[in-house]
Amino acid sequence: MKSYFVTGTDTGVGKTVITAAIAASLRKRGIDVGVMKPIASGVAQRTGFKSPDVKLLCESAEVNDMEDMINPIFLPLPASPYDVSKILNLKIDMKVISEKFEQLRKIHQMLLVEGIGGIMTPITKDFFVTDLIKLMNLETIVVTRSTLGTINHTVMTIEMCKKYQIHLKGLVVNYFDEKGGPAERNAPATLHEITRLPILGIIPFVKDYQKPEVMTNIIEKNMDLNSLIS
Ligand SMILES: Nc1ncnc2c1ncn2[C@@H]1O[C@H](COP(=O)(O)OP(=O)(O)O)[C@@H](O)[C@H]1O
Ligand SMILES: [Mg+2]
């Protein structure tokens, strides 16, 4: 079964929410799906997993893998990995990420890897999220907003993916409000028209986005899950 890298047009567009929701839905269909967040940055939670992203991903996928496998690198400042490494004088070891990635891939039928920030977020000075995707050699899903401004961000993201010869699976349009303005209502069709990429899902705002049982219903209704499995 194929594994996927999930990136987004920016930070906060819904990479974690969508990855977790897809993981929960695959698990409900009886697929042993693993999750990985190779690098997380931010303020560590006081209890449990340091990263709230990792917590939601693990709960949704129902996995018990060690935190240092799922999230080998946690950086304790909300900044790009390169910035954190400069500020705290740390070295980011890509080898540990590759090792844990290979191990997780062997344990599970398929793996969903959540990126960090957007496609050109620097991990080191000259190694970006694009390079991480190339290293992992995964097909990539791009999560994008549906609100005004998304066309510009999405097209730039896709063009950069093309430059790096990243294999794109398609787009997931998040936060969709069918009662939204004209830009929003048109966003999925226009994004498809311009990028020629499949729209894998159009996901609305969900108040209970942290509840896997809620999100599995949303995914089954609003996403082409079969296209990820085949
Ligand atoms: N479909 C959604 N419905 C409701 N809230 C959402 C949805 N997608 C994202 N959010 C909100 O936006 C925040 C950022 O989403 P997240 O998935 O963490 O973004 P990213 O991983 O791209 O940084 C979430 O914590 C949540 O509050
Ligand atoms: Mg996230």
Structural domain of 20: 4-229
User: DSSP string of 58-87?
Assistant: HHHHT----HHHH-SEEESSSS-HHHHHHH
Nearest to 96 by CA among 71, 65, 114: 71
5 lines ligand 1 (CB under 6 A): no
Answer yes or no: 125 catalytic: no
Look-up of token digits 């219903």: 217
Count of structural domains, the chain: 1
Give the domain CATH number at 76.
3.40.50.300
pLDDT for position 177: 85
The tens digit of pLDDT for each residue in 137-179 reads 999 999 999 999 999 999 999 999 999 999 999 999 999 888 8
175 lines ligand 1 (CB under 6 A): yes
Ligand 1 atom closest to Cα of 18? 17
Nearest to 44 by CA among 33, 35, 53: 53
Residues with CB under 5 A from ligand 2 (ion): 15-16, 53
Confidence of residue 28 (pLDDT cuts 50, 70, 90): very high
d(CA 182, CA 189): 12
Q: Residue 177: what are its φ and ψ, rounded to 5°?
A: -125, 110
pTM of the complete model beyond 0.75: yes
Is the Cβ–Cβ distance between 100 and 36 less than 8 Å? yes
pLDDT for position 70: 98
